A and B are shown apart, each in its own frame.
Chain A
Amino acid sequence: MPSPPRFAQQLFKWWCKKADADDLLGDMEEYFRYNVSKKGKLRAQMIYIKQVLSLSFSYALKKRKRSASYSNFYSQNSIAMLNNYFKIALRNFSKHKLFTSLNILGLALGMSICLLALSITVSIYRSDEFHEKKDRIYQVNTYIADDSEDKTYASTFNAVGDYMEGKYPFIERSVKIKSGFRPEFIHHGNPMRFHGYFANESFFDVFSFPIISGNPSTALQEPYSMVLTESVAKKLFKNEDPIGKVLETEYGSFNVTGVMEDLKQTHFYFEILTSYSTYEQLEPNSTLNSDWENYRNNYVYLLLNPNTAKRTLTESLTQVSEQAIEFNPNRTIELQSIILEDVVPRWNVSNALGIGWDQPSLMFFMFIGLLILLPAVFNYINLSIARALKRAREIGVRKVVGAEKNQIKMQFIVETILLTFLSLVGSIFIFIEIRNEFLEMVGSASVLDTSLNFTLVSVFILFTLLVGVLAGIFPALYFSRLNPIHTLKGEITNRSGSISGMKKGLFVFQFFLSLFFIIGVSAIAKQYRYVFNNNHGFESDNVLAIPLRDIDKQVAINELKNHPDVKAVTTSSNLPGIFLSGTEEMTPNDLDTINVSQVFIGENFIENMKVKLAWGESESLSKSTQNEELVLVNEQFMRSVAVFNLQKDSLTFTLADGTKCRIVGIMEDFNFEPLSELIDPLVFRHSLEESNYALLTINSPDIKKTIDDLDDIWSSVDQKVNFEATFLNDEIETAYFFLTAQIKIFGFLSTFAISIACLGLLGMVSYTTENRTKEIAIRKIMGASSNGLYFLLTKDFIKLIVISAIIAIPFSYVFYDMVFLHFLIRYGSGLGIIEVLLSIIFLFLIGFVTIYWQTSQVANANPAGNLRYE
């Protein structure tokens, strides 16, 4: 027999509120059944809905609602009831310790990643709140559209700052910032590289960064003045006062004019600041204040006068845009402003200053967190409903003594919320433990303040409430719908023998996720091994790298060569296998330029490092003349040049600095940089002066003694320069730090996913076996063997794990082999079958141990005792 449309019934009940409308519903249902038999189901449902609507507005119901509203003896949930719910919940928790601890642990693990994502999100949204004038500071953005692109840039034209400050009186100050200041300090013989911005003198007036020493309004005035952050100052000067000190860099010598506190909670990301006038001096040919063409890496912040409407700014920016279009005729240009607090996170903006947090990556992070949390929530729902048998009688009694459906729902939601709050305590502990580890991986996240403050804790509590309601709503609905008569008679259908389709789906999802992450870990670990077991196209074993610094290079090399264990010595400007910084431009013809990496090498580099030549020879490298330098290039270089289809001698070219080069040899392509980098056009030039490292090929029975000997030799050449030797292989290993970070992240996630999946498995297995105790006992008495029982109890679960593996394998293959690893390591070895197999075996093992642990208790128990169970 069909029943009336549920939603219409629910709607009607809701509309009736407290009024008793049981008989009305009954009448309608009776009529509905009559209609079904006469006119068919569909017509009957239509009529039912019509009835509901007309009854809702009829006198009959209005009268009932009016009279019901006078009675006040019955309220939905009073404090006393809530107290009772708490008490019952706590008793239940302590009664079912396994269930409680499984859920608390699972939810705590799941929530901790979300807390991490939340804390980062919150602190990013709260960036730049500390500036006193934050309501009046705007960043100027540039929207540029032409044939090839259509983007909004956080940066703007060089001329905008000066132009606007001069033209519009409502602008109080403007701050001009240029990014990309990366000087290398030579400090006590050690080179140190810091990154920072060029900023004009109004920087500290507009922004409220705390200054420790120095005059904030003049610190960035003079050319070659520099402001350090506290940690940089500590690194360079220990406890000395840095003000007035001179720092030598490749840009020239800088005066330290101020020290500011380390950055906290801001979208800026720099270690040092130098004055904008420095940039003008470094680039004397550029006319910054009339440049309406370059818009990259140049940022303008405007401080408006108090009480200036945003519209005034918008209007003036429209005028300035027109000015900009005059210089860029083929483009659509629109200057926009964004208030300081909204600068991060943005949805999509190019060339952002500083860390440039964007909303998509925050959402992705949150998504990962939820991906871990959801299985834990599912576990809770599963386990709670699986326990229905145990709680049903309680619900029955409650209903009989007058509990409403809503009260039962309330009870379960309160109980779940209580549980999630217990998990919150646990997950905050986990959160604190993993926070620093994680922030280190993100790198620039150090400016974020993720310590527990009021806002963060409130966000956590809100989040926990949400999780509690979400996890509690399903058990609540299930329990509130139970029929009291059935529950009291113990007639709840015992579905424990089989697991419902939804639960099966959940299992498969959980194990799929776990397997996916485990395969991720092993895939990256394989790349890690691959990187070190395969050479990059040069010899890195037994090669000692020694930074040359200020020592007399020729003398040092000659002396080192004399040691009997040193087989060969060469030098180079960059260590092979490490990232190269920056590129040079070269002009194959007179019009175009291509970017090439250049490396300076000493004698015998090619022979010692066993780099293969495809053509030519390397002997004559040192025979360069004044007019023409002899160089080596790689095959990629030749390919890049070939694009231009030059009609002249392809073995000569000119570098951007004017050096004329002639190619004497072509190297086979090899990975001079880590395997993640594309093989770029590469030029090897010969120069001992430019070399920074000595590369010693060692063959020694006692490596420690050899290094000590070399140290002595070094000191005999020059005592002032530190001797420092590392193996090239170790240096290469540190260059792959990004892989280590990835392994850590995937390790984290897979541990969490596996733990949660196993907790869920454990819970389900324990409850299904518990519910089948009697059945097992009877089977045993009838003569079932232990092995047969294991098989019986585990086969369902094993089947599910197998299904999840079948789904996970092709998915992981496509994801890791074709997408992820390709981005991570361009020249890697891909995903191997062994890794996948090992991952599956690992997961099976864990799953099986979990199942076995539970089933063995039941299978080995005394059947006589079990028959008396319950």
Chain B
Amino acid sequence: MKGTNLGEFEELVLLTVASLGTEAYAVSVKSSIAEHANRIVNISAIHSSLYRLEDKGFLTSEFGGATSKRGGKQKRYFRITNTGLVALQQSKDLKQQLWKTIPQLSFQLV
């Protein structure tokens, strides 16, 4: 396993899971990313990063919520763990610090 660092896409997925609360499963994560980030992502990519995050201990999952809309198949709900929250926090803090070091001038140029 490649350490516990968060990749860019992983961070996006983790944040989405956190924001969805108890309603986070692959399809809802996918549509939420589409809505907020305007990115169309493959379900397989979402699943892969969800499991990677689970392996890293940032997410837990449980089954439930079979509906006829899904052909009677179960959903796998993901929830963010404390470790996950801490990792998000750290990533945010790191970025915050880096933001502060950017000179004002160049910021305005953008």
Contacts and interface: CB of A to CB of B under 8 A. Distances in A.
Interface of A: 3, 22-31, 33-34, 51, 54-55, 58-61, 63
A28 B51 contact: no
10 interchain residue pairs of minimum CB distance: A26-B73, A60-B47, A23-B76, A26-B70, A58-B44, A59-B48, A54-B44, A55-B44, A27-B26, A29-B71
B51 A23 contact: no
B56 interface: no
A58 B69 contact: no
Given A54-B44, A58-B44, A30 B69 contact: yes
User: Which of B44, B45, B52, B69 has the most CB atoms of chain A within a 10 A radius of its CB?
Assistant: B44
Contacts of B48: 58-60
B44 A22 contact: no
Nearest to A52: B44
A24 B25 CA distance: 10
Interface in B36-95: 42-45, 47-48, 50-52, 55, 63, 66, 69-71, 73-76
Contact of B43 (A3, A28, A63): A28
A24 B70 CA distance: 10
A54 B42 contact: yes
A66 to B, nearest CB: 11
A23 B48 CA distance: 14
A27 B51 contact: no
A54 B43 CA distance: 9
A27 B42 contact: no
Given A23-B63, A23-B76, A58 B70 contact: no
Given A3-B71, A30-B70, A24 B47 contact: yes
B27 A27 contact: yes
A51 B43 contact: yes
A26 B75 contact: yes
**Is the interface on chain B under 10, 10 to 19, 20 to 34, or 35 or more residues?**
20 to 34
B73 to A, nearest CB: 3
B73 A58 contact: no
Contacts of A55: 43-44, 47
Instruction: Give chain A's interface secondary structure class.
Output: helix
Contacts of A51: 42-44
A25 B71 contact: yes
B54 to A, nearest CB: 9
B62 to A, nearest CB: 11
Given A27-B26, A30-B27, A54-B44, A60 B51 contact: yes
13 contacts: A25-B71, A27-B26, A27-B47, A27-B75, A29-B71, A51-B42, A51-B44, A55-B47, A59-B51, A60-B47, A60-B48, A60-B50, A63-B51
Contacts of B51: 59-60, 63
Contact of A60 (B44, B69, B75): B44
Given A29-B70, A31-B30, 13 more contacts: A3-B71, A22-B73, A23-B63, A23-B73, A23-B74, A27-B70, A29-B73, A31-B27, A34-B27, A58-B44, A59-B51, A60-B50, A63-B55
Contacts of A60: 44, 47-48, 50-51
Nearest to A483: B72
A33 B73 CA distance: 14
A30 B74 CA distance: 11
A740 B13 CA distance: 85
A25 B73 CA distance: 7
Contacts of B66: 26
A31 B43 CA distance: 9
A58 B52 CA distance: 11
User: Which of A3, A30, A31 has the most CB atoms of chain B within a 10 A radius of its CB?
Assistant: A30
Contact of A26 (B44, B45, B52, B74): B74
A59 B10 CA distance: 14
B53 to A, nearest CB: 11
Contacts of A22: 73-74
Nearest to B70: A26
A58 B71 contact: no
A23 B73 CA distance: 6
A34 B27 CA distance: 10
Contacts of A33: 69
Contacts of A30: 27, 69-70
Contacts of A3: 71
Nearest to B64: A23
A8 to B, nearest CB: 13
A36 to B, nearest CB: 12
Nearest to A64: B51
A60 B66 CA distance: 20
Contacts of B45: 54, 58
Interface in B11-28: 25-27
A26 B74 CA distance: 6
A25 B26 CA distance: 11
User: Which of A31, A55, A59, A60 has the most CB atoms of chain B within a 10 A radius of its CB?
Assistant: A60
Contacts of A34: 27
A33 B72 CA distance: 13
Nearest to A58: B44
B1 to A, nearest CB: 11
Contacts of A61: 47
A26 B75 CA distance: 7
A34 B26 CA distance: 14
A60 B52 CA distance: 8
Nearest to A53: B44
B9 to A, nearest CB: 13
Contacts of A63: 51, 55
Contacts of B26: 23-24, 27
A22 B70 CA distance: 10
Contacts of A54: 42-45
Contacts of B27: 27, 30-31, 34
A28 B27 CA distance: 8
Contacts of B25: 23, 27
B43 A23 contact: no
Contact of A58 (B47, B55, B75): B47
Contacts of A59: 47-48, 51-52
B42 A26 contact: no
A23 B76 CA distance: 6
A9 to B, nearest CB: 9
A63 B48 CA distance: 9
B93 to A, nearest CB: 29
Nearest to A28: B43
Nearest to B61: A23
A34 B43 CA distance: 13
A31 B71 CA distance: 11
A60 B43 CA distance: 10
A27 B41 CA distance: 14
A546 B71 CA distance: 89
A54 B44 CA distance: 6
Contacts of A28: 43
A28 B42 CA distance: 10
A32 to B, nearest CB: 9
A451 B71 CA distance: 57
A28 B55 CA distance: 23
A498 B94 CA distance: 74
Contacts of A29: 70-71, 73
Nearest to B31: A34
Nearest to A57: B44
B50 to A, nearest CB: 7
User: Which of B69, B71, B74 has the most CB atoms of chain A within a 10 A radius of its CB?
Assistant: B71
B96 to A, nearest CB: 31
Nearest to B48: A59
B52 to A, nearest CB: 7
Contacts of B50: 60
A33 B27 CA distance: 12
B74 to A, nearest CB: 5
B43 A27 contact: yes
A521 B82 CA distance: 87
A23 B75 contact: yes
A23 B47 CA distance: 11
A61 B63 CA distance: 16
Contacts of B70: 26-27, 29-30
